[in-house]
Structure 1
Amino acid sequence: MYDTAKRVALVKQRVRENTRRRQWRGIYGLSAACMLLFAVMMQAADVFAVQEQTAAWGVFGAMLLREDVGGYVLVAVVSFAAAVVVTVFCTRLRKNNKQQEQTKEDEET
């Protein structure tokens, strides 16, 4: 049989392990979501791009001077919005983790 201090230490260790697993699961989920979003955006760029733009393949800046660049602009705006959402989510997650660590430190003392 373990004494109370040993049991408390084991419980705290298991909580840390479960928290670490949950964080890694979140990281894997975000990575998968980013890859899926990337694949969808690549397909969207292919669908929206006009096939007659062969004259400006070498100079991508010249493509923006053409009239039918709506697909590229749409993909750029959606990419930016997705990046902002992921950044805000990660910032909030980090803030919550710091608050939890601070709470744990306060409880231990």
Structure 2
Amino acid sequence: MKKYTLKSSEIPGFLSEGLDEEQLKAVVESNGRSLIVAGPGSGKTRVITYKIAHLVSSSISPQNILLVTFTRAASREMIDRARRTSGSNLQGMLSGTFHHVCNYFLRKYSRA
């Protein structure tokens, strides 16, 4: 098992509050796609919203972020939280339910 040590200088200030060690690791450590799987009440929504804020603060364009959830309500809640946390309007970020996102790509890339 790999062991990681996070130096406080590498962690943006807004991330150091409200996340435990495992959550912080999920937010900061990644070089690509992330899949968050955890039980109820474990902070999945918080991790995802902080991850989006971290990506935006790391100069990743919101157009390069895709958020997929099971319900519209969850999607709206995560986007609202991510906007508040990141201080960005997240213009261009694609988010929604699995059905919405798949429908979007089918319509965008179909050869009609």
State the TM-score bracket (shorter-chain normalisation).
under 0.3
Structure whose residues are more often helix by fraction: 1
Relative to the length of structure 2, the TM-score reads 0.24
In the superposition, the TM-score normalised over structure 1's length comes to: 0.24
Identify, as 1 or 2, the structure richer in strand: 2
**Bigger-Rg structure (1/2):** 1
User: Relative contact order (alpha carbons < 8 A, sep ≥ 6): 1 or 2 greater?
Assistant: 2
